[in-house]
Each structure stands twice: as structure tokens, then as C-alpha cells.
Structure 1
Amino acid sequence: MLEYRKAALEDEAFLFELYVETRREEWGALGWSESELLAFLQMQFDMQMRSYAMQYPHIDSQIVYMDELKIGRILISHTEQAVHLIDLTLTERYRRRGIGTELVQNVLKLGEQSGKPVRLHVLQHNPAKGLYERLGFKVTEDRYPYVAMEWQHDQYKWEVES
């Protein structure tokens, strides 16, 4: 069973480890030493967090748990115009098991309950783009390397298995 808990200062080490796990392959090919790579990734992580905070002042940062284990994070922001899915990251061990689908469907419920669209940006080549398309998101803007996508509660009906 999935649980959410508001991210706290003591979660920062986990969040950085999660970030490194998702970026190591991308940047590891540069041939840097481990300490150089980690210093670079720390700088990137810090910049990402500051950027999110500036763009979304009312960001809701949640740690995702399964059986009391931290398995990921989800960042959501509610604005007058939309529910924004800012980031959804799972540890490698918990990917491709339907958990991401469940988490996104929970965000879609928020959109449906509020009568607002759900919006996100995703890298063009990120495998999650296929998940978003399967759940009814449509591309609204294609600006390399990202695409903007939107889900409208009145344009797509989906069912959650219970």
C-alpha cells in the first residue's frame, strides 16, 4: 500500500540519492571521478530544488512510501488554472511495477475533483511520456528537449482497478 508523507529536512539525503540514481548514467559518461560527479550532481540538485520553489511557490513535496520504505517522491502544485505534476520519481527497484501509474491516477483524481486540468512537462525521450499518453495526456507544446502535456477530466475517462 502506498503512503505519502510531507517531505522534511531529514529527507534531503534520500532525495539527493534518488536524484543521483536518475542522473548518474546521463552524466557518468563524462569520465569524471566519483567525487567530481557527486559534487556536480549536488549542484544540479540544489538548482533544481530552487527552480521548482521559484516557479511553484505553493509546491507540495511528498515522499512516497511502500511498507514503511521510502520509494520515491512526488511534487504537485495547485494553481487557479491547473494541478501541476512537477516531478514524479521512483527508485529503480520500484519502477515498471504499476506504482507510477497509480501515483499519476491519484493526481488525475485531484484534477477531476477540482475541475481543473492536470499539466506537466516531460523530456521528449523519457519513457514516462508513454505512460502519460496511455492515461490520456495530450501534447500541448513541443519545445525541445521537453514537451508540455495536459489531461482534461472531461475529455478522457479512466478507471482505477480496486
Structure 2
Amino acid sequence: MAGQLSLRAVTSSDQDFLLALVDSTREDMSLLDRTLRGMLVRMQHEAQVTDYRRRFPRLEQNLVLADGAPAGRLYVARGGGEIRLVDISLLPAFRRQRIGASLLARLQDESRQTGLPLRLHVLLGSPALKLYQRLGFQPGAVEGLYQAMEWHPQSKNLSKD
């Protein structure tokens, strides 16, 4: 795992990084012309953030820093009797290093301290689904292409490794 993990609020100067991050998650567009792909990634990013802000007025948008270097993003909304993991994304170079598990453990600690459930949606078939299950998240309803998942403060973390 990368050494020191920290979070900082997203600023307007982070837009190029955030676009590169979204681009890194869109392997399905790899055959597109570079200009077209860039345009589509920008449109997707802007639409996604606009939708997140609309649905989650208390959205906290943070950059994940690994040893001070931008590694990903963590978007969390608090309110309505829950902690909502809205989005967690890491650049390919930072995946499979337990960074995601570490960030989720922090949210689970917050859930324990506040007594609020931790909720999220994960794309069906996503490799992240196994991580959430390993960390004790329970499946909820399938909503379109997404599986609702929930972790309660009284849940036990099934994996401390």
C-alpha cells in the first residue's frame, strides 16, 4: 500500500486530474479518437458531478493523496440518517494496494462513532463488489445496473488483514 494516505478538498485546479481519473475508468472508450474520447469524458464528468451535487446537497468532494500524490477521489455525503459513499475511484497505478479498503475502514470507523449506516451503490459485476462483501457490506436491492449495499455500525469487519 502507498505510505501516507490523506484527503483534501477538490479545487478547480484539480480538473485535469479528475478528467484523467474518469478517463482511466473508461476502458470501453479506448478505441475512440483521442479528441472524441476527451470530449465524452469531459461531458460524463460534468454530468456526473452535476447529478451528485443535485442528489446529495452535502456532498464532500475530496482528492485521495498517496504520499502527497493525487491517487483518486472520494465523494461522501452525510445527512438523512446515513453516511453515503457516493464515489470512490483510484488511478490504475494505485489500485489493488489496499487504499480503497483503508478509505472504507475510515468510513466504517465514522459509522461506528456516529451510529449511522454506511451506504453505497456498486455497478453490477464490478471487482469492487468483492471488496465490499469482504468488508461486511450487505446487499440490498438491485437498482438498474447497480447493487445497493449497506454496512451497519454493529456489523463486524470480516477482514482485518
For residue 17 of structure 1, the aligned residue among 20, 25, 31 is: 20
For residue 27 of structure 1, the aligned residue among 19, 26, 29 is: 29
CA contact (8 A) 2:121 2:148 kept: yes
Q: 2:101 maps to what in 1?
A: 101
Deviation at 1:151, TM superposition (A): 0.2
Point out where structure 2 has 5 or more consecutive residues left out of the alignment: none
Q: 1:61 maps to what in 2?
A: 61
CA contact (8 A) 1:105 1:160 kept: no
Q: How far apart in 2 are the matches of 1:33 and 1:11?
A: 24
Point out where structure 1 has 5 or more consecutive residues left out of the alignment: none
Q: How does 1:53-132 map to 2 (within 5 A)?
A: 53-132=53-132
Q: How far apart in 2 are the matches of 1:157 and 1:43?
A: 38
Which amino acid in the other structure matches residue 58 of structure 1? R
- Aligned pair in 2 of structure 1 residues 159, 147: CA closer, same or farther (>3 Å)? closer
Q: How far apart in 1 are the matches of 2:34 and 2:12?
A: 25
> Are residues 1:4 and 2:13 paired?
no
CA contact (8 A) 2:134 2:159 kept: no
Deviation at 1:156, TM superposition (A): 2.2
CA contact (8 A) 2:59 2:75 kept: yes
Higher RCO (C-alpha under 8 Å, 6+ residues apart): 2
> Are residues 1:150 and 2:146 paired?
no
Query: Percent same amino acid among aligned pairs?
Result: 30
Which amino acid in the other structure matches residue 33 of structure 1? D
Which amino acid in the other structure matches residue 13 of structure 2? E
Aligned length: 158
Question: What TM-score results when the alignment is normalised by the length of structure 1?
Answer: 0.92
Q: How far apart in 2 are the matches of 1:115 and 1:158?
A: 19
Q: 2:47 maps to what in 1?
A: 47
Deviation at 1:142, TM superposition (A): 1.1
Q: How far apart in 1 are the matches of 2:89 and 2:98?
A: 13
Q: How far apart in 1 are the matches of 2:11 and 2:96?
A: 27
Q: How far apart in 2 are the matches of 1:124 and 1:153?
A: 24
Deviation at 1:157, TM superposition (A): 4.0
- Aligned pair in 2 of structure 1 residues 21, 157: CA closer, same or farther (>3 Å)? closer
Which amino acid in the other structure matches residue 136 of structure 1? G
Which amino acid in the other structure matches residue 132 of structure 2? Y
